[in-house]
């Protein structure tokens, strides 16, 4: 629970301190009416509720400090306890309290090493009981659907997964998954066919459906973009045939603003003959986790929810509050749809700014990372991000196009501009490599290089090759007949070869190579013996440091070596 320490007080705190903290709880989205008394290590000593304060006033207690009025035997549970276990254990715990105790035990404190982490009350427990009885069906078991399904299964829900890809379902049933996410494998093995049941048909009855199917973006011959809605409409049609009165449908797939209200709800109503807001509920709750840390962020990130009505919001909130401690209610479904697009498009936009700077710096042979570092140092406003060989991933690169596709034609299209700057980085990398080859008087077909880091990013690490800048750059180099090879610390040889990339294992050394390009920022790049690898290479080796991870000066100590970053090219003094 974020800011929970704002409720901490010491046992000698005065009444005015306690009352002030209670009063300010709302400002930090914390429960009102409870203060946690802790020792110097923040370990829980007791609780003070508004009831304790009333009783103190009633008894005209003059010695009004925390230790005089606190309940020093509060109800605590381990922070990672399942709510069902709390409910099973609660009667026992309550019995141990003396019946005569007048301390109000309506708040349960979840602790880690006896340090409070979260406060829950009986209402939350009751809501969870209700939710635990419901059948949740996650529709679409790709990256978003599978991570969410297993996170929900892990907090005690029974989750049915539905995907129309039979192969995927068969693999999942065997506990096999090709998504690289910390903790995902373990959760799949733990919950598969128990609390997580994947199938390639929709269950006949379900109360809650969460839609996580693909919504790819497409470009037509006039270079206009639109979102392909075939998958989401197919999923919605199927759900509408199975749902019943009281169902809740949550959209988690990314969609253009307005789609849920103008197309999805009417489609559900038409197929099901039920009425939204009367017979069923709808909400939009976007997925915002970062690949590589999804399981952590599903618990840590605030969950944005836009409901069709208050009931839709509340029902959705009950599900997501099982995962996340902060739920953000937004004014409408449309606001939630927009927020998803905003977060990703903003990142693409600021990265485009940094990338554009690197292009300008290249013209002047300025080390842009050093320049940005200096610009940001001690400057307290909007730090400039660092540039990269391109912005990748399935989601980040798509959302600006969705914005662009719904933008009125009279408006400036900053989204598309950002995209085109970020894409232009691929050409920039390729052209600067070609320049080096030309300078060496080597034919393109005789120039052998290795790209290290094919996944679309290295930190947090992922094995996802979708919209990877490295893969794009590889293809452009191959088109120029360059002898290009690829290696990745995470992506397996089989998957690399499936992408039609010539695999080469960097562990075999770099003999007979002319260049090595580091195009993602994986931490393991830094564990390689770079000096040794470069020394094994042909004369006049090219070292391309796409993320400025390495020490330029160290590389340049190697004879006849060229160090390249996005913005600068430097040769060893003895080149």
Ligand X SMILES: NC(=O)c1ccc[n+]([C@@H]2O[C@H](COP(=O)([O-])OP(=O)(O)OC[C@H]3O[C@@H](n4cnc5c(N)ncnc54)[C@H](O)[C@@H]3O)[C@@H](O)[C@H]2O)c1
CB of 148 vs ligand X, minimal distance in Å: 9
CB of 289 vs ligand X, minimal distance in Å: 7
Cβ closest to ligand X, residue 11 vs residue 288 = 288
CB of 467 vs ligand X, minimal distance in Å: 10
Tokens of residue 84, six digits: 């069902």
Any idea how long the chain is? 575
Integer Cα distance of 423 and 428 in angstroms? 9
CB of 268 vs ligand X, minimal distance in Å: 14
User: 393, 323 in Cβ contact below 8 A?
Assistant: no
Cβ closest to ligand X, residue 162 vs residue 320 = 162
User: Who contacts 34 (Cβ-Cβ below 8 Å, separation ≥6)?
Assistant: 7, 22, 25, 47, 48, 49, 50, 107, 119
CB atoms within 10 A of CB 33: 16
Judging by DSSP bridges, how do beta strands 542-545 and 562-564 pair with one another?
Answer: parallel
Integer Cα distance of 520 and 547 in angstroms? 7
Closest listed residue to residue 491, CA positions, set 479, 478, 501, 483: 501
Cβ closest to ligand X, residue 55 vs residue 347 = 347
CA distance readout (Å), 465 to 217, 457, 485: 17, 9, 15
Q: Please report the sign of the dihedral spanned by the C-alpha atoms of residue 389, residue 393, residue 394, residue 395.
A: negative
CB atoms within 10 A of CB 89: 13
For residue 105, count CB atoms less than 10 angstroms from its CB and return exposed for 0-12, middle for 13-18, buried for 19 or more: middle
Q: Can you state the percent helix, strand and coil of the chain, rounding each to 5?
A: 40, 20, 40
Residues contributing to the site for ligand X (CB under 6 A) = 139-145, 162-165, 168, 212-215, 231, 234-235, 253-254, 287, 291, 394-395, 398
User: Who contacts 261 (Cβ-Cβ below 8 Å, separation ≥6)?
Assistant: 308, 333, 334
CB of 388 vs ligand X, minimal distance in Å: 17
Residue of minimal CB distance from ligand X? 142
CB of 479 vs ligand X, minimal distance in Å: 27
Q: Computed over its alpha carbons, how large is the radius of gyration of the chain?
A: 28
Cβ closest to ligand X, residue 164 vs residue 432 = 164
Cβ closest to ligand X, residue 165 vs residue 244 = 165
Cβ closest to ligand X, residue 165 vs residue 551 = 165
Tokens of residue 479, six digits: 């088109």
Cβ closest to ligand X, residue 227 vs residue 388 = 227
Cβ closest to ligand X, residue 288 vs residue 416 = 288
End-to-end CA distance of the chain: 58
Integer Cα distance of 447 and 512 in angstroms? 9
Residue found under tokens 């509720």: 49
CB of 177 vs ligand X, minimal distance in Å: 11
CA distance readout (Å), 177 to 172, 429, 488, 490, 522: 6, 34, 19, 14, 22
Distance of CA 567 to the CA centre of its chain: 30
CB of 149 vs ligand X, minimal distance in Å: 11
SS3 310: helix
CA distance readout (Å), 385 to 37, 366, 373: 42, 16, 9
Cβ closest to ligand X, residue 38 vs residue 243 = 243
Cβ closest to ligand X, residue 151 vs residue 452 = 151
CB of 301 vs ligand X, minimal distance in Å: 11
CB of 137 vs ligand X, minimal distance in Å: 10
CB of 179 vs ligand X, minimal distance in Å: 8
Cβ closest to ligand X, residue 422 vs residue 538 = 422
Cβ closest to ligand X, residue 143 vs residue 485 = 143
Cβ closest to ligand X, residue 254 vs residue 260 = 254
Closest listed residue to residue 46, CA positions, set 22, 77, 79, 68: 68
CB of 230 vs ligand X, minimal distance in Å: 8
Integer Cα distance of 384 and 205 in angstroms? 51
Integer Cα distance of 559 and 435 in angstroms? 20
CB of 111 vs ligand X, minimal distance in Å: 33
């Amino acid at each position: 629970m974020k800011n929970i320490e704002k409720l901490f007080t010491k046992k000698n705190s005065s009444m005015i301190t306690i009352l002030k903290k209670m009063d300010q709880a709302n400002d930090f989205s914390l429960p009102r009416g409870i203060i946690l008394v802790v020792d110097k290590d923040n370990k829980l000593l007791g609780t003070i509720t508004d009831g304790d304060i009333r009783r103190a006033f009633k008894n005209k207690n003059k010695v009004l400090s925390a230790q005089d009025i606190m309940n020093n035997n509060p109800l605590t549970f381990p922070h990672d306890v399942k709510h069902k276990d709390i409910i099973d254990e609660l009667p026992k715990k309550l019995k141990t309290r003396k019946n005569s105790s007048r301390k109000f035990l309506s708040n349960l404190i979840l602790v880690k090493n006896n340090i409070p982490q979260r406060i829950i009350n009986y209402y939350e427990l009751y809501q969870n009981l209700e939710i635990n009885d419901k059948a949740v069906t996650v529709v679409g078991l790709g990256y978003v659907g599978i991570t969410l399904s297993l996170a929900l299964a892990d907090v005690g829900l029974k989750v049915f997964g539905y995907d129309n890809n039979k192969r995927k379902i068969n693999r999942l049933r065997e506990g096999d998954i090709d998504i690289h996410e910390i903790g995902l494998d373990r959760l799949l093995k733990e919950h598969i066919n128990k609390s997580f049941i994947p199938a390639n048909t929709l269950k006949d009855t379900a109360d809650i459906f969460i839609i996580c199917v693909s919504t790819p973006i497409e470009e037509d011959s006039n270079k206009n973009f639109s979102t392909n809605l075939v998958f989401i409409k197919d999923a919605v049609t199927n759900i509408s045939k199975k749902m019943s009165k009281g169902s809740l449908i949550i959209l988690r797939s990314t969609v253009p603003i307005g789609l849920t209200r103008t197309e999805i709800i009417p489609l559900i109503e038409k197929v099901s003959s039920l009425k939204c807001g009367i017979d069923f509920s709808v909400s939009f709750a976007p997925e915002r986790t970062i690949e590589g840390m999804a399981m952590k962020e599903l618990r840590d990130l605030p969950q944005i929810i836009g409901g069709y009505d208050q009931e839709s919001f509340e029902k959705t909130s009950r599900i997501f509050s099982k995962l996340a401690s902060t739920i953000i209610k937004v004014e409408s479904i449309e606001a939630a749809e927009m927020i998803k697009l905003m977060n990703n498009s903003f990142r693409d936009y600021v990265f485009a700014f940094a990338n554009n700077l690197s292009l300008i710096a290249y013209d002047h042979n300025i080390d842009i990372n050093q320049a940005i570092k200096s610009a940001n140092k001690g400057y307290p406003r909007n730090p400039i991000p660092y540039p990269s060989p391109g912005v990748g991933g399935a989601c980040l690169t798509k959302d600006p196009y969705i914005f662009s596709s719904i933008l009125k034609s009279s408006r400036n299209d900053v989204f598309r501009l950002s995209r085109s700057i970020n894409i232009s980085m691929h050409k920039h990398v390729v052209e600067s490599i070609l320049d080096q080859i030309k300078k060496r008087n080597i034919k393109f077909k005789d120039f052998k290089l290795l790209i290290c880091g094919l996944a679309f990013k290295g930190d947090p690490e992922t094995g996802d090759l979708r919209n990877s800048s490295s893969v794009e750059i590889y293809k452009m180099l191959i088109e120029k007949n360059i002898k290009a090879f690829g290696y990745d610390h995470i992506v397996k040889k089989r998957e690399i070869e499936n992408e039609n990339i010539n695999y080469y294992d960097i562990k075999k050394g770099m003999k007979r190579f002319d260049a090595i390009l580091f195009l993602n920022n994986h931490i393991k790049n830094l564990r390689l013996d770079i000096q040794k690898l470069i020394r094994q290479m042909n004369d006049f080796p090219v070292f391309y440091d796409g993320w400025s991870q390495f020490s330029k000066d160290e590389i340049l100590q190697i004879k006849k070596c060229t160090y390249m970053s996005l913005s600068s090219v430097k040769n060893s003094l003895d080149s």
